[in-house]
Structure 1
């Protein structure tokens, strides 16, 4: 560097008397002038040393994104203006606008996926989404989004806590009060009170208005005259309208008979069942059951051993509700496969009636048809199929109504008791290192070029 500084300096040439002039000029303590060439050389040296250290800057750069938005009914609550779902949409827009590639997933009863596509192209589908499903399967929505865009960070917008493993989460819950119809059946309904105070209100059942008092954070069950079709309404406004209206509808259970014993045919007619050949709700068969029935089926044994008196039964099983069999003698049917379990026993623990998640195995019908409990047993088996009910979100229905004879309601306590706020987990933006060494070397070269120009001018 010193050589560069000295290379253009002329050699001294002594001349007579010049030293006197130099001495006279130096007596005044002349100021030292800053040498611009030396300054440029020092700056070039510093920049070159910095370049050798390979410095870099972290630049925020948007990347691909999987965005999951909760579309459950609680997201329609108006305790955030205009509602929780609109707040989630507002948070989602800038994320999609910045994403070069994204997948948008609506989390409801079944996930609905949009993309992969450039983020801005998903703004229109985002604006068209509406909440209202009776539940949101966030985990299934995340799995579908990750399958379409592997490796992309996952962001969840919801009013419920996120599943583990998400990369970003924004909570849109609030603290509004709400009341709603949380369950209903033939002749009864349950009302939940999602507030911190006792609620005195009204419920309209058909053309009748009933007074109701529901404890803070609790439920109240009401009975009303049972009818096959009923409309129920809570007239008082609150944070969520979707659970203030409900419908109850019944339809004849559809039964297919493998054989037609007269006693069973007459009983099914009395209970309002409909005999069909295809798409039954319940199928009646005769013989030993298989390991795993395809649909819900009732099997009557065609042969049996000696009769044993019923000693005990499982009263909590739905088919045995109000069924009095203790003390009656029933023949022992041939044992079913191991996937079936006994629910009616004799004194030695031998099974007389067996159950499966999709069926019931009974002794021969001749041993049961004359018992007082037989009509109750058949009624219990038909009861689950009488309701023509479906949850909100079924077939895309997002408001309580009756669709082709099926009552579509919310009836979900987890939605009526609106989720409360939890902390956010913002997504950490992806940062790309930008090396600075090339820029530093280029700047140092420019400074050396400038110093060379100055040296050339002085030598001239």
Structure 2
């Protein structure tokens, strides 16, 4: 038996008080009379019936104690397993994604799902496990008494990120407590494909929602351009008022028309430095995707250039702009303050943790080999999706001699007769390698060269960062051992650096994160996850959980049973008390309680 309100059991302390009051009941008084002749027969009758009378008095006390006990048990709201009920374990998976914050089912989808999940936990015949299906599915409560799962469901809150429901269900199906297969109960607004052995409980009704699904920042030497994408997940076209502000100062207010089930984009030039806030003035059921942020105008990255001096390279870097520091060699002290190190035609060396742009060279500890040189000619293929190659056109670029690269990992961004541009991120090193020296190519004469440099430096170690809720944010830390991160809620935490990186794992809240590494501070804007703006509920259809044979799926709430039984005991006690009263009162009249009512007519 389990209790929802176990605190009510303290009411049992009233039982000793009832016993105490019973011992203080009224006693007979001695009264002198003139003769005992008339009392002899009465005394004999009293002596003959005294055991029964004593039993009646004790039975009244027992019935009173039993009635109070039953009432207290009813107030504790017990759940009682019926005869023959099994003890099958139960795994409850609850979706904690951002869309569960929608208010189409008041007060929210998550609140409704949590209430239903608490009912399932209360009715469980065995132990209950609770799994939260957020950006990182996790076990909130291992197999334990259902009371613990019910309490955790009361405290649990949805995140601002996506829900990895499939991973959470896989985790649930893999549980085998005591070798038994558990029942899996899933509470979500987007169920996906039906899975045998899983019971789904779907919440949500609305489909209309307008949200920000993308924010990017493009910059040049003079200003930044913030590009915003707005999605309409509903079935009708919407006119959406948008306000863009920089550090609280309005930059632009406009109305964007978004067709049904489509995305509209617009750009806003921003002059100055600080935090840009984009807000949709729209009334819908999901508010978390109506606001987004971007950080613009942050100090340009600090770049160290080592190796063969190249005037064209320095001029291109100064035009981006970046803070350039030429160096004869790269020291640990220089690495600690540099965002990116550029190595121009240096001999291959082992690279310590950091961010590197290697021009016409490679490194011995990178997963790429050099097997001589090759004549290239033109570039045959290049990526358009990688951040380093965004807006870069290599179609008219001619290359002479280049290193013959043989990558064993990473990603090839451009290739001709050999891989020409290669990117790698791992083991504390983030690097972009060009197989050709700049003087062996006409790329420095093309419009795409400064764009390529800007993209590469931004990807390698730029200080303007954007992420979506649920993303893992990786920040270069150089040779420093830790960083201090302050979240949108103002809570500060210290994170250790590993391999020259500080990792913020699967950030769950949107807003601004301030990261301090040594004497440097940068801000990361975490915006809503794009997939969470589509809030139309999905149901897999009718799916039944397959419980283990012989196991009962439910127990019963027993408080009503205890309450009815208490009422029966109270009535029985009252009837027994009536029997203890004398048949007639003074003057030969029956006690008032036993006399029939008289009507006047």
TM-score, normalisation: structure 2: 0.54
| Corresponding position: 1:301 with 2:301 | no
Kindly state the Cα deviation for residue 364 of structure 1 after the two structures are TM-superposed.
1.8
The structural deviation recorded for 1:58 is 10
Q: Which residue of 2 aligns with 1:169?
A: 200
> What pairs up with 1:14-163 in 2 under 5 angstroms?
59-99=84-124, 100-116=126-142, 117-145=144-172, 149-150=176-177, 151-162=181-192
- The answer to whether the aligner puts 1:403 opposite 2:493 as a matched pair is no
The answer to whether the 8 Å contact 2:87/2:127 transfers is no
1:390 counterpart (458, 467, 480)? 467
Structure with the higher strand share, 1 or 2 = 2
Say if 2:404 and 2:419, in contact at 8 Å, map to a contact too.
no
What is the DSSP-based 3-state SS (H/G/I as helix, E as strand, rest coil) of the residue aligned with 1:377? helix
Match of 1:452 in 2: none
Q: Secondary structure at the match of 1:123?
A: helix
CA distance in 2, matches of 1:426, 1:75: 23
1:118 CA drift (Å) = 1.4
Is the 2:241–2:253 contact (alpha carbons within 8 Å) kept by the matching residues of 1?
A: yes
Shift of 1:59: 4.4
Contact 2:88 2:548 in 1 (8 A): yes
Cα deviations across residues 60-94 of structure 1 (Å, max 9, x unaligned)?
43421121111110011111111111111011102
Q: Who is 1:458 aligned against?
A: none
Superposed displacement of residue 115, structure 1: 2.7
Q: Report the CA distance between 1:179 and its aligned residue.
A: 0.4
Residue 331 (structure 1) aligned to one of 393, 397, 400: 400
Kindly name which structure, 1 or 2, has the bigger radius of gyration based on alpha carbons.
1
**Which of 416, 431, 445 lines up with 2:533 in the alignment?**
416
Secondary structure at 1:224 match in 2: strand
Greater displacement, 201-210 / 400-409: 400-409
Cα deviation 1:318-338 (Å, max 9, x = unaligned)? 433443544444233222224
Distance 2:109 2:208 in 1: 14
| 2:445 match: secondary structure | coil
Superimposed CA distance per residue, residues 285-317 of structure 1 (whole angstroms, 9 cap, x where no aligned partner): 566999xx9987533224985765425442625
Instruction: State how far apart, in whole Å, the 2-side matches of 1:165 and 1:279 are.
Output: 56
Q: TM-score if structure 1 supplies the norm length?
A: 0.69
- Match in the other structure for 1:213: 257
RMSD (Å) for aligned C-alpha atoms: 3.7
What is the aligned length?
373
Deviation, 1:247, is 0.5
SS of 1:221 mapped into structure 2? strand
Deviation at 1:339, TM superposition (A): 3.6
Are 1:427 and 2:550 counterparts? no
* SS of the residue 1:408 aligns to: strand
Separation of aligned partners in 1, 2:376 and 2:300: 33
Higher relative contact order (CA 8 A, sep 6+): 1
- What is the rounded CA distance, in whole Å, between the counterparts of 1:433 and 1:225 in structure 2? 65
Q: Distance in 2 between matches of 1:157 and 1:416?
A: 19
How far, CA to CA, are the matches of 1:274 and 1:120 in structure 2? 59
Structure-2 separation of matches of 1:271 and 1:296: 18
Q: Which moved more, 1:352-361 or 1:235-244?
A: 352-361
Quote the residue 1:378 is aligned against. 453
Q: How far apart, in 1, do the equivalents of 2:196 and 2:424 lie?
A: 34
Compared CA separation, residues 106 and 315, structure 1 to 2 (3 A): closer
* Corresponding residue SS for 2:289: coil
> Alpha-carbon deviation of 1:120?
1.2
Partners of 1:352 and 1:162 in 2: CA distance: 41
Q: Do the aligned partners of 1:65 and 1:155 also contact (CA within 8 Å) in 2?
A: yes
Q: Is 1:231 aligned with 2:277?
A: yes
